[in-house]
Structure 1
Amino acid sequence: MDRRSSKIFSKIIGIGSYMPEFRLTNSRLEELVDTSDEWIVKRTGIRERRIAMGKATWEMGLAAAQAALADAGLPGEDLDLILVSTVTPDSLTPAVSCVLQDKLGASHAAALDLNAACSGFVYASDVADSYIRAGKAKHVLVVSTERLSGITDYTDRSTCVLFGDGAGAVVYTASEEPCGILSTYMRAEGSLGQSLFAGALPSEPDPLTGDRTIPSNYRFLKMAGSDVFRFTATAVPESIDNALSRAGLEAGDIDWFVLHQANLRILKMVTDRYGLDPEKVYVNIDRFGNTSSASIPLCLAEMKEKGLLKPGQTIVASGFGGGLTYGAIVIKL
């Protein structure tokens, strides 16, 4: 859908983040598994990642939410809807969004958790936009908070080098200005879901193997890296192309490409695919690693803090990962 024809737009009025203080460096990982800083950097671009060290998923989300609301100058009681994207909730119920609803004093807000893994921020932003455009909400808070260290196997060198913890948040508000979310595009490829798997409640039988004996590492992330990389090679351009088309724009019209920070090779692939100036593709994976759905809002928060985001700029954000899910949004600041 071309969002420019809408009379109501979902405008960003606040951005916030929280990053744990503890840095898990590649040199520390060398002490845990058979790997090296050179090997990790060459294959992923990651040099360190942050680890929550006792912080709950909701605590990180709350800090990011409070920062976003402060940036927006909006009290919690003015929120109509709280959406939380996460693959690492502290409990199955209550949802993280309900915990935040209470802690923020958002007495008038509905609360909903959403799990689209690394595409979570894009999916949640689309839901926020739908509520706002339908007139069902004026102010929507989207929080992406992930404690991936809790589902990472630190004896598996193929996955433990990738993931980190953190949270980012964005406040959307209804606006008649022709800005905010201009278009969205979301898809899923569930047939490839086994390529990135982490167990929750043990099932009978195991959905992947048919085995009725659930292994002790069932809850840890397991990834077929080559399958996921091949998926992104087509999924990411597809989502970006369609989001741009729906907004009536081309890649050359975009000021910033803010992609899920999964792997530096994927970011380079997109840069080359569109012939972009590398300076237009924001990168912080070297310092934060893969933080799943939190990675895009974490980028936005850091960009704002550095003064890189300016009114009138247009951004493409693309998420892709577990599910397998993918999608993109076009946002005008």
Structure 2
Amino acid sequence: MFGKIIGTGSYVPENIVTNNDLTKIVETSDSWIEERTGVKQRHLMKNETTATMATEAAKRAVENAGIKPEEIDVIVVSTVSSNLILPNTACFVQEQIGAINAFCFDINTACTGFMMAYNTVQSYINSGLVKTALIIGAEGLSRIVDWSDRGTCILFGDGAGAAIVKASEAAVFETVMKSDGRKGSALTCYNGFATRPRKIFTEEKQEISDIYEKTNGQESSDTFVKMDGQEIFRFAVKEVPKCINELMEKMNITSDDVDMFVLHQANLRICQGIAKRLKISMDKVPTNVSEYGNTSSACIPILLDELFKAGKLKKGDKIIMSGFGAGVTLAATYLEIC
């Protein structure tokens, strides 16, 4: 037995930053950004945090599913940008929504995160360990983006999406997951605590020594997102279609059998490149990157929530979700709306 999605929810900040707004801080233009990425605007936090956005998305998913928080057996949050290290974000959400019977943990596989969370809870459901799961992708990327770096700051936004997955005899599940750590340098962001000036005891000198210098009084630039955009583009356009094809071969289906391909919203050109490699129409590839930018692990659940609420997903629809990102990691997962 596997699980089916019985409810979704999402939250994005009200604060909208357009491409024209970005021209005030970096050398760019609205047309330059849109032509290369498909992004027109993004939603950025003001008073929110990653954890509060995750909580709001979770509340909406629980309400949409028509369940009580006490029914949730596990909460999994995917994030690379939480304001919390301890407690984990999932435990924060648990306390806020009153899911007192759940066990909780966070995962970090960047833009593939929601996929990994979904696949993880499917394994738990299949093993009989849980019946009802809450999965969340939540990102406050504006806090780890270098707003003087035109190559990255134009891409990212903040937000959270959530789904309730419940055991069902009707549910169908299959997946392919991959990682290639050799390409990890294509997208990096180091922990700010690791570069903060501090003192440690060194056995050699038997004294307290200074390590990790600040540069010009600022934290190391390594604590911001750094990306080799061309390498990520090449990886996504080549490897994601291969991963999706491997999944379809595993299930003995073709792209004609699939009603919709819900892809990570890295940028519009990548989604178009994947569709071209798969030889499918963009009519089968919904996008919302123009509105939100790349929200990493929140992309797919926000898009799913919009599709459900717009009535674009109906019973019997066959869906392939695919995420890809830092690590590098990627996954393709099949689900049927039931």
Question: Structure 1 length normalisation: TM-score?
Answer: 0.93
What does 1:15-54 correspond to in 2, within 5 Å? 15-54=8-47
Aligned to 1:310: 314
> 1:274 Cα shift?
1.9
Aligned to 1:168: 161
Structure 1: how far apart are the matches of 2:250 and 2:59? 33
Aligned to 2:203: none
Q: Deviations over 1:123-153 (max 9, x none)?
A: 1111010000000000010010100000011
> 1:194 Cα shift?
1.2
| Paired residue secondary structure (1:261) | coil
Q: Does 1:116 align with 2:116?
A: no
| Paired residue secondary structure (2:223) | coil
Q: Deviations over 1:11-57 (max 9, x none)?
A: 11011100111111000000110001111011101000010112011
1:249 maps to which of 245, 248, 253: 253
Unaligned runs of 5+ in 1: 1-7, 205-210
Aligned to 1:221: 225
Aligned to 1:288: 292
1:299 maps to which of 291, 299, 303: 303
> 1:212 Cα shift?
5.9
Aligned to 1:234: 238
Q: Is the 1:15–1:71 contact (alpha carbons within 8 Å) kept by the matching residues of 2?
A: yes
> 1:203 Cα shift?
6.2
Read off the aligned partner of 2:264 and give its amino acid letter: H
Q: Is the 1:196–1:322 contact (alpha carbons within 8 Å) kept by the matching residues of 2?
A: yes
Structure 1: how far apart are the matches of 2:169 and 2:299? 29
Give the 3 Å change call, closer, same or farther, for CA 214–176 of structure 1 in structure 2: farther
Aligned to 1:194: 185
Unaligned runs of 5+ in 2: 197-210
Aligned to 1:139: 132
Structure 1: how far apart are the matches of 2:272 and 2:214? 38
| Equivalences, count | 318
Q: Deviations over 1:239-264 (max 9, x none)?
A: 21122223332111111111000011
Structure 1: how far apart are the matches of 2:251 and 2:95? 37
> 1:218 Cα shift?
2.6
> 1:104 Cα shift?
1.5
Q: Is the 2:19–2:33 contact (alpha carbons within 8 Å) kept by the matching residues of 1?
A: yes
Identity across the alignment (%): 41
Which of these two proteins has the greater Rg computed from alpha carbons? 2
Read off the aligned partner of 1:192 and give its amino acid letter: K
Read off the aligned partner of 1:308 and give its amino acid letter: K
Q: Deviations over 1:262-303 (max 9, x none)?
A: 011111112111221211100100111000010001110111
Structure 1: how far apart are the matches of 2:87 and 2:255? 41
Question: Structure 2 length normalisation: TM-score?
Answer: 0.91
Structure 2: how far apart are the matches of 1:214 and 1:192? 28
Q: Does 1:55 align with 2:48?
A: yes
| Paired residue secondary structure (2:265) | coil
Please give the root-mean-square deviation of Cα atoms over the aligned residues, in Å. 1.5
1:275 maps to which of 274, 279, 287: 279
Aligned to 2:204: none
> 1:213 Cα shift?
4.7
Q: Is the 1:121–1:142 contact (alpha carbons within 8 Å) kept by the matching residues of 2?
A: yes
Structure 1: how far apart are the matches of 2:2 and 2:153? 40
